[in-house]
Structure 1
Amino acid sequence: MQKDINWEDEFESGGHKSDNKALLRFIHRVRANWYWFLLCGIMGFSGAFIYLRYTLPQYKIHAKLLVSDDKKGGSLLQNAALSELSGIMGAKSSVDNEVEVLKTADLMHEMVLAEKAYVSYFKPGTVHSVPVMQIPYQVAVETAPDSIQKANFFDIMDAERGFVQLQNPDTTLRVALDKPFFLPGTGTVKVSRGLGKRYPAERYGFSILPVRKVVEGLRGALTAEVTNKQVSTIDLTLQHTLPKTGEQFLRTLIDKYVERNLTDKNEIADSTLAFINARLEKVTEELAEVEDRISGYKKETRLADISQQSRILLEGAADFTRGLAEADGQLASLDIVSDYLKDRNRPRVVPSALLPQDATFSGLTGRYNDLILQRERMLLSNTENNPLVKNVDGQIAGLRQDMISNLANTRNQLEQTRRSQQQLASRFNGQLNEVPLIERGYIDLARLQQIKQAQYVFLQEKWEETAIGRTANVANSKVIDVPKAEELPFAPKKKMVYALGLLLGLALPLVTGYFRDLLNVRVRGVEDVQAATALPVLGVVAHSENEHPVVVTPGARSAIAEQFRAVRTNLEFSLNGGNTILFTSSMSNEGKSFIALNLAMSLALLDKKVLLMELDLRKPSITAKLGLPRELGFSHYIVRPELSIEDIIRPSGIHENVFLVQAGVLPPNPAELLVNKRAAQLFEQVKKQYDYVLMDTPPVGMVTDAQLLSRYSDLCLYLVRQGYTYKEQLHLPDDLVTQEKIKPIQLIVNDVRAKGGYYGKYGYGYGYGYGYGYYGQQPGKKKWWQIRKKA
């Protein structure tokens, strides 16, 4: 049943809209296009299934290391004595530093070379290849792996006995087993038949990638982090498509890290031992020479024993001599280390064990030795002109200068101490002047012997400490959780992929509809009209499938006939006692003649006399639509004064109460004819003779004829055709009203087609009968599986 309509509320300019109108429109559009959502949802779900079917799963391999960090505890050197001696070997490690070491490209490079990770195997598939750990063949790169320049992928198949065939889309090679061959961009390669288990008869393949590319890929897949700041543990995570291979890679990486750590410690210890051995050899020679001189002196002077006074003086002088000997030994060590540091041509590890127990210098020495070792490792795969090497060189130069300055300060302090000891020794020397000359000569030699003896003992002690420390060297880290892969892959996540595929599928119709609305430039319904203009909409006329221009007939109960009756009813409120209606639009083919004909027929059914005037003097169409012959018309009446109104008024042939004034002959000056005084007389008379006068005029957006005729009209009905009129043209009627060129104006939306919009199938727009059929009857409903046919 048709709802009662309050026209004042319905057509009030700027009237209030229902708050949920947009939501209802959206819901009805979704319901009307449910099959698209179903289809796209199935497509999205299928796409997710295909993605999961052909996407390689990724596994996470976890391991945990315990690192010796004095700040957090957890030292691996449990013996107190060994822990003290370990300080001789260099700087202390921290867990944060070790995390950065584990992430370095050099360490990953060593692992890739050890595991030959630049060679991988796969099974060719229809969509993509599936990686495997082993195949019935083994591929080895005989040349240096770092010389691999480009990636090569080959399917490998058996040929005749002792040969295999390597094939890819660009190349086919026939090579002998166990015999090296040259592969461009890779180097010398050898293919051998694998030993061990038997493999099914399937296709296999292998790939050889540049080492640098493999290193970067594995570095990106490796995560090293300290998850708990309270302990010195490092969590390692490696992502890989093969869990067993990933476990092996991570295990080898840890082994290389431990091996490198021990190598660094042993290198510092070996350098210190070599230096001490050289010094011991020289001091031993000097001590032997002094002892020979003492023996010769005694033999020459026949000195068996010194006097009691000489013994007392000697014992007193011995204390100061020992102090001088220690000072001389430390100064000699400072000079040697200083010479090491001043040699800029070849940076070497500094033997920190020979230096004074200075905490600042020990820290500088540890950092310096670490940088020297880092530089040597970088030079294995880079040149000295590499920016990274130059950066390390700059850091080494800065540390070297700081160490030289520290040594200079230490030397000044030692020299001051030595001068103090020398002053005390001079006091005893004055007393020794009273000793006989022979005894004095003996005392000088004995003093020199004590000095050399003190140096020898000092070096011997340091050698023993260093040797013990080297023997006690252990890695600063320990594996407390061996590499282990997770049972289930972490990617792709099936539930998330299915949900995302379904959501994307359901969103596709929404996005498509949004962009269609966004890019649409033509009027698609009453909503577009209301959004673009504040003028009232007098009525909505549906699309007509009838080929005859007149769809309103006596007794007709069709939807479109009911809509014209609604427009006829609304005219009673809009004319305000007038009877002359002007029809115009923005451009041609918007349905002015069709609306005028049927509205005239609808008014005639009320037993009203209606005059339909064909005033489009440029392109008349009503006469042709009605199939009438061309006779005298409006243009004849204006230019021929002898003609009367009765001479140009003809029956329309569609109803006895509908009459027609044809356009007549097409004049060269239609605008001038419309403002002729005879035209004013004509309109004055027909208004009196007929109940309604309907004027079909040219489009107002193209010529001024409608504006000229508006002076004779009481109401202008402006036609807007769905899917034809441009949205930009809707400002024309507003401008005409604002500028008072045509007033009043009301709109009629023509050729409306039901497309599952806001109001669904029944009662589109304002609901004036569209879809009613016969009053009181419900239209036939389609089954749920039937897709409606769009007009």
Structure 2
Amino acid sequence: MSREKIDWEELTAFEDKNADNKDLIRFVGRVLHNWYWFVLCGIVGLALAFLYLRYTVPTYNIHAKLLVSDDKKGGLLGENALADLSGLMGTKSSVDNEVEVLKTSDLMRQMVLAENAYIAYFRAGSVRDNPTFRSPYLIRLLSSPDSIISPIAYKIKKVADDELEFFSSDTTFKVKLGKAFDVAGVGRLTAEVVDGVVVDDTYGFSITPLRKLVDSYSNSLTVEVTNKNVSTIDLTLVNELPKRGEQLLATLIDKYVELNLHDKNVIADSTLSFINARLTEITEELAGVEDRISGYKRSTQLSDISEQSKLLLQNSADYTKSLAEIETQMSVLQAIMDNLKDKNNPRVVPSSMASQDPSFAGLISNYNELVLQRERLLLANTNDNPLVQNVNSQIANLREDMVSSVEASKRNLEFAKSKQIQMSGQITSQIQRVPTIERGYIDLARLQQIKQAQYIFLQEKWEETAIGRTANVSNSKVIDSPKAEEFPFSPKKKVIYALGLILGLIVPLGTFYLKDLLNVRINSLDDVQAKTPLPVLGAIAHSVDQDQVVVTKTSRSPIAEQFRALRTNLEFALNGGKTILFTSSMSGEGKSYVALNLAVSLALLDKKVILMELDLRKPSITSKLGLPAGKGFSHYVVRPDMRIDEIIMPSGAHENVDLIQAGAIPPNPAELLVQPRTQELMKKLLETYDYIIMDAPPVGVVTDAQLLNRYSDLCLYLVRQGYTYKEQLVIPNDLQLKGRINPIQLIVNDVQAKGGYYNNYGYGYGYGYGYGDYGQETKKKWWKFWR
């Protein structure tokens, strides 16, 4: 037994060394054998890819590039020549901030409204509708775009010179050209025919709710900074119509520029409004003073004053001018304080009127930028939004800093004003020493100079602000206008065809894999070898012959040759033994069939073979041979007076093959197998026959085979392809490991050709079966693949 084990181990080791790549070879063989499925599925995959490309609307990428002024990376306009006239253009902007502005839904909404993008046109097709840029019909929405609640789509047919018919899958109605009509969920519409456009197909239109369309366009827009070293922004819009996409992206950029200029002009307009109000007031006051001076001169007939009076008047005018500037600055600070008082609704601060202090000017610039940012956020959000709350917090912090700065500036101005008043008082005391008439004139002239200085200061600031507003330009510039790519972004033909082919090839591969994965039965020799280390003595092919005995003297069929190969291997496996035990995991695996034909195969060598039908519960050999039931094993064991020759009968399969039937089905078959009469029977049979073949019941059901093991030299365990469960191979493993049946070798029965690696392995080891010169040609033709 040990020698046999060593031989099998050496054989297995040899096979492993020479078949390291057998999995790959088996896989390639299986693919080649089933090549028609791969060709068919590949063609189907390519056909589906073609249909997908044929009926899918292509989308194009539209690209544009902006250059944005960024103080950190170099300004767009460089040093502005008007920057010293006003600080109005002074909100700092960075590329990252502008990217976020371009992504806002408010900006996209303005683009949609400007282009009436919520109305789209299409050309009706048999399978799908094709979007079109030009349509022979023009649909106008008379009501507010916000009134669009639900999307609609109608096809249009001209039924008369002044009448159109709108129809869909469930609705049809007629409208007059140029006459308004109402559509539920949309609003009031009018329809017109575009002059000069020939209607050669069926056209239609669709209307989409504004919010849904804005979200759709926002998702199709990509805004990114591709190079961190320069202040450029790349915009990409995905659209089904190249020209329409270029137009939409150009409008989006225009609206962005308008929004950018609007933010700058808001500050300038606020400053101009303040200056205009002050100019109106100062002009009225100056006119009143000049009227008083004229009346005073007429009443006093004053023509000139002395040189001393002129000098005093000049000095008084200088102090008065300084005092006027201080008062103007104080009034500006008071205006700023008034703007800062409203904490709930902050307003922009007129920055050009502010102090020349750079730090305070920076605070105003930051404050105005935050106020404008808050207004933009409130267009699409509420005060409870975290973003709005964050901006409110920043505004509140800046307001406190600005209030502190304004109060400090007011204290400084009040101190300077008191000094100017003190100096002006000294001049006034000197003026009081001049004659009374001259002193009255000097008082009026001084008041005139004060008002005139305020008027000139405000007029200068108004001009500076007006010039600065006119010179306002956007902080961005289009350096690459919107252009659509020549070829569609999606779908890509080569990729789709490649995916179609790959998916088509994956289908049969996946089918093979799932079939193997879900298969719980033995399907090949590899399944057997994967589940058990027991050696495989041979394999028996599937037989389409209805005869139970397929081995004859003249038989040259593949299955007969396999039994001959099994017989050859059996001689080495028995190693001089005579008794062979047949068993399996369950009924129906072909024990009786294999045992019967193996007996005939051994008999062809002029060996005497006795076939024992020891499946006492369900005997089948007698019926397979078509013999009548008679006395058998059970009779012999229970009747001591019965002789052996009374139960031995010719099998009819071969003259050298005798049969011992099971006999009457006993109530205690297991006990009969261990009776002394059974042991005596086996000894006498060994003296008469060259081989004893015992057909035992399935070991996975009853223990009879384990009891008969004491009389056998070799146990042949039947495994049937497509019938035996993989998990049942644990049974022979356990039996040999625990020494209940030993030795055990396997026979794979009912093997069916499925193509691939082991189709024609050869007869020498009985692992396969072939065709050609050894029997009839039964190989399946390629055009019969459906079988």
TM-score (norm 2): 0.90
> 2 CA distance for matches of 1:747 and 1:88?
97
Mark the runs of 5 or more structure 2 residues left unpaired by the alignment. 1-6
Q: Is the 8 A contact 2:88 2:264 kept in 1?
A: no
- Counterpart among 369, 378, 395 of residue 391 in structure 2: 395
Displacement of 1:172 in angstroms is 2.0
Q: Is the 8 A contact 2:371 2:395 kept in 1?
A: no
- Counterpart among 382, 386, 405 of residue 401 in structure 2: 405
Call closer, same or farther: CA 1:708–1:12 in 2, change over 3 Å: farther
Give, as a single letter, the amino acid of the residue that structure 2 aligns with 1:29: R
Q: Secondary structure at the match of 2:465?
A: helix
Q: Is the 8 A contact 1:224 1:237 kept in 2?
A: yes
Is 1:173–2:173 an aligned residue pair?
Answer: yes
> 2 CA distance for matches of 1:124 and 1:450?
80
Displacement of 1:421 in angstroms is 6.5
Instruction: Tell me the residue number matched to 1:27.
Output: 28
Displacement of 1:282 in angstroms is 2.7
Call closer, same or farther: CA 1:272–1:423 in 2, change over 3 Å: closer
Displacement of 1:349 in angstroms is 2.6
> 2 CA distance for matches of 1:84 and 1:430?
37
> 1 CA distance for matches of 2:125 and 2:185?
26
Q: Is the 8 A contact 2:609 2:692 kept in 1?
A: yes
Instruction: Tell me the residue number matched to 2:208.
Output: 209
Equivalent positions of 1:358-757 (< 5 A) are 358-376=357-375, 382=380, 385=382, 387-388=384-385, 391-392=387-388, 395-396=391-392, 398-416=394-412, 418-419=414-415, 422=418, 426=422, 429=425, 436=432, 451-757=450-756
Displacement of 1:423 in angstroms is 5.1
Displacement of 1:242 in angstroms is 1.3
Call closer, same or farther: CA 1:39–1:271 in 2, change over 3 Å: same
Instruction: Tell me the residue number matched to 1:258.
Output: 257
Displacement of 1:729 in angstroms is 0.6
> 2 CA distance for matches of 1:75 and 1:243?
30
CA deviations on 1:542-562 (whole Å, 9 max, x unpaired) are: 111111111111132222122
CA deviations on 1:113-139 (whole Å, 9 max, x unpaired) are: 121111111122222111112232222
Give, as a single letter, the amino acid of the residue that structure 1 aligns with 2:585: S
Displacement of 1:367 in angstroms is 4.1
CA deviations on 1:331-363 (whole Å, 9 max, x unpaired) are: 221121111111235433321111113444434
Call closer, same or farther: CA 1:535–1:393 in 2, change over 3 Å: closer
Instruction: Tell me the residue number matched to 1:193.
Output: 193
Q: Is the 8 A contact 1:626 1:652 kept in 2?
A: yes
CA deviations on 1:257-302 (whole Å, 9 max, x unpaired) are: 2333333333332221111111222334455566677788999999
Instruction: Tell me the residue number matched to 1:105.
Output: 105
> 2 CA distance for matches of 1:45 and 1:439?
113
Instruction: Tell me the residue number matched to 1:3.
Output: none
Give, as a single letter, the amino acid of the residue that structure 1 aligns with 2:488: P
Q: Secondary structure at the match of 1:109?
A: helix
Give, as a single letter, the amino acid of the residue that structure 2 aligns with 1:406: M
Give, as a single letter, the amino acid of the residue that structure 2 aligns with 1:43: V
Q: Is the 8 A contact 2:374 2:391 kept in 1?
A: no
> 1 CA distance for matches of 2:190 and 2:408?
66
Q: Secondary structure at the match of 1:82?
A: coil
Q: Is the 8 A contact 1:226 1:234 kept in 2?
A: yes
Call closer, same or farther: CA 1:681–1:361 in 2, change over 3 Å: farther
Instruction: Tell me the residue number matched to 2:271.
Output: 272
> 2 CA distance for matches of 1:404 and 1:225?
36
Q: Secondary structure at the match of 1:608?
A: coil
Q: Is the 8 A contact 1:103 1:224 kept in 2?
A: yes
Displacement of 1:717 in angstroms is 0.7
> 2 CA distance for matches of 1:764 and 1:513?
28
Call closer, same or farther: CA 1:439–1:150 in 2, change over 3 Å: farther
Q: Secondary structure at the match of 1:65?
A: strand
Displacement of 1:620 in angstroms is 0.5
Q: Is the 8 A contact 2:82 2:468 kept in 1?
A: yes
CA deviations on 1:31-84 (whole Å, 9 max, x unpaired) are: 111111111111111111111111112222233333344444453488x53344
Give, as a single letter, the amino acid of the residue that structure 1 aligns with 2:687: K
Instruction: Tell me the residue number matched to 2:4.
Output: none
Equivalent positions of 1:72-221 (< 5 A) are 72-73=73-74, 75-76=76-77, 80-85=80-85, 87-200=87-200, 202-221=201-220
Give, as a single letter, the amino acid of the residue that structure 1 aligns with 2:97: N
Displacement of 1:97 in angstroms is 2.7
> 1 CA distance for matches of 2:451 and 2:42?
94
Instruction: Tell me the residue number matched to 2:60.
Output: 59
Q: Structure 1 residues 217-226 or 599-608, which shifts more?
A: 217-226
> 2 CA distance for matches of 1:765 and 1:228?
72
Displacement of 1:422 in angstroms is 3.4
Q: Structure 1 residues 562-571 or 630-639, which shifts more?
A: 562-571
Q: Is the 8 A contact 2:706 2:741 kept in 1?
A: yes
CA deviations on 1:613-668 (whole Å, 9 max, x unpaired) are: 10111111000000000000111112212112111111111111111110111112
> 1 CA distance for matches of 2:416 and 2:246?
66
Give, as a single letter, the amino acid of the residue that structure 2 aligns with 1:27: V
> 2 CA distance for matches of 1:766 and 1:299?
145
> 2 CA distance for matches of 1:495 and 1:272?
61
Q: Is the 8 A contact 2:32 2:756 kept in 1?
A: no
Q: Secondary structure at the match of 2:88?
A: helix
Q: Is the 8 A contact 1:91 1:362 kept in 2?
A: no
Instruction: Tell me the residue number matched to 1:758.
Output: 757
> 2 CA distance for matches of 1:294 and 1:476?
51
Q: Secondary structure at the match of 1:735?
A: helix
Q: Is the 8 A contact 1:224 1:235 kept in 2?
A: yes
Q: Is the 8 A contact 2:343 2:396 kept in 1?
A: no
Q: Is the 8 A contact 1:715 1:743 kept in 2?
A: yes
Give, as a single letter, the amino acid of the residue that structure 2 aligns with 1:61: I
Q: Structure 1 residues 671-680 or 519-528, which shifts more?
A: 671-680
Call closer, same or farther: CA 1:619–1:60 in 2, change over 3 Å: same
Call closer, same or farther: CA 1:789–1:17 in 2, change over 3 Å: farther
Q: Structure 1 residues 298-307 or 218-227, which shifts more?
A: 298-307
> 2 CA distance for matches of 1:627 and 1:572?
30
Displacement of 1:378 in angstroms is 5.7
CA deviations on 1:297-336 (whole Å, 9 max, x unpaired) are: 9999999988888877776676666555433332221121
Q: Is the 8 A contact 1:612 1:661 kept in 2?
A: yes
Instruction: Tell me the residue number matched to 2:3.
Output: none
> 1 CA distance for matches of 2:480 and 2:294?
66
Aligned length in residues = 778
Q: Structure 1 residues 445-454 or 96-105, which shifts more?
A: 445-454
Call closer, same or farther: CA 1:477–1:15 in 2, change over 3 Å: closer
Q: Structure 1 residues 146-155 or 483-492, which shifts more?
A: 483-492
Equivalent positions of 1:206-245 (< 5 A) are 206-245=205-244
> 2 CA distance for matches of 1:764 and 1:224?
72
> 1 CA distance for matches of 2:346 and 2:652?
115
Q: Secondary structure at the match of 2:702?
A: coil
Q: Secondary structure at the match of 1:747?
A: strand
Give, as a single letter, the amino acid of the residue that structure 1 aligns with 2:395: L
Q: Secondary structure at the match of 1:257?
A: helix
TM-score (norm 1): 0.90
Displacement of 1:190 in angstroms is 2.0
> 1 CA distance for matches of 2:632 and 2:622?
11
Equivalent positions of 1:304-315 (< 5 A) are none
> 2 CA distance for matches of 1:435 and 1:161?
93
Q: Is the 8 A contact 1:180 1:189 kept in 2?
A: yes
Displacement of 1:789 in angstroms is 7.5
Q: Secondary structure at the match of 1:88?
A: coil
- Give me the identity figure in percent: 60
Q: Is the 8 A contact 2:761 2:767 kept in 1?
A: no
